[in-house]
């Protein structure tokens, strides 16, 4: 974040977020920074590091540590999108006789045959052509198992429990939404939140004796309080019925 204005006491009053993709540092190559950079450039122009708040994450970013897994996940999604254009199993047109067709003629024939199938029309073949359906049924063409495996990898990369993404995890289960919130905070968010809070609590941002923290207890307690109120109402209703 870049400091825009300062208050009367000299501490920051307003900031602007600088996209990380437009930032380069010449004294540290990355992707891991061991300390705030002193040679920071934004869109080619050098900026004063004294007016810059740099968040140094304790873990390496996912786009650096898991580049291949992310690229694979994107390719799987692209393939699913292409295959979703048709719900008809793929097949092979085979010429069994007659004068050999050229490559362009075969391509035109296959395109016409496929167009007829997609519009639910009757596709006709002569005695010199045969059609063989492949084992690529619509459910296999959607790459469901590949997508689930990719989602599992992304969950592991981001330290998020797989069940929060709807990925089957076998015997693992949770009993209520509060436990899911606890898992999300503990495994997926806590590290980044502590980095943000500790950076904004530094003496260059806030006066000595003041600090920033995330109110995660309230975030986790909302569901618990709601469940407690619901249990009280249920007990009152049951008690009233018993008395009646």
* In the chain, domain spans: 2-51, 87-137, 143-243
Per-residue pLDDT at 121: 62
Per-residue pLDDT at 234: 41
Q: Split the chain (244 residues) into runs of 10 and give each run's mean pLDDT.
A: 88 88 84 84 89 83 78 88 69 81 85 75 76 71 84 84 76 64 83 89 89 84 52 44 38
Per-residue pLDDT at 41: 92
Per-residue pLDDT at 240: 42
Per-residue pLDDT at 138: 66
Per-residue pLDDT at 174: 53
DSSP codes, the chain: -EEEEE-TTSSEEEEEPPPGGGEEESS---SS-SS--SSEEETTEEE-GGGB-----SS--HHHHTHHHHHHHHHHHHHHHHHTT--SPPEEEEE-SSSPPPHHHHHHHHHHHHHHHHTTPPP---TTEEEEE-S--HHHHTTHHHHHHHHHHHHHHTT--GGGGT---TT---SSHHHHHHHIIIIIIHHHHHHHHHHHTSTTTS-TT------HHHHHHHHHHHHHHHHHHHHHHHHHHHH-
Whole-model pTM: value is: 0.57
Per-residue pLDDT at 197: 92
Per-residue pLDDT at 243: 37
Q: Average pLDDT over the chain, rounded to whole?
A: 78
Per-residue pLDDT at 175: 55
Per-residue pLDDT at 137: 66
């Amino acid at each position: 974040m870049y400091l825009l204005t300062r208050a009367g006491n000299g501490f920051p009053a307003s900031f602007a977020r600088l996209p990380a993709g437009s930032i380069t540092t010449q004294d540290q190559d990355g992707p891991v920074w061991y300390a705030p950079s002193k040679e920071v450039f934004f869109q080619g122009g050098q900026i004063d590091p004294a007016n810059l708040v740099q968040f140094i994450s304790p873990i390496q970013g996912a786009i650096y540590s898991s580049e291949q897994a992310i690229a694979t996940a994107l390719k799987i999604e692209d393939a699913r999108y292409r295959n979703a254009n048709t719900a008809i199993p793929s097949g092979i047109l085979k010429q069994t006789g007659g004068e050999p067709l050229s490559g362009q003629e075969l391509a035109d024939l296959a395109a016409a045959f496929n167009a007829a199938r997609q519009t639910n029309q009757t596709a006709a073949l002569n005695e010199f052509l045969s059609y063989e359906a492949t084992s690529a049924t619509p459910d296999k063409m959607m790459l469901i198992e590949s997508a689930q495996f990719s989602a599992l990898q992304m969950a592991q990369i981001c330290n998020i429990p797989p069940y929060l993404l709807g990925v089957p995890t076998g015997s693992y289960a949770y009993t209520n939404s509060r436990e899911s919130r606890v898992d999300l905070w503990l495994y997926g968010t806590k590290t980044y939140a502590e980095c943000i809070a500790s950076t904004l609590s530094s003496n260059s941002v806030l006066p000595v004796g003041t600090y920033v923290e995330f109110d995660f207890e309230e975030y986790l307690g909302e569901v618990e309080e709601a469940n407690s109120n619901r249990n009280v109402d249920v007990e009152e209703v049951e008690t009233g019925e018993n008395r009646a």
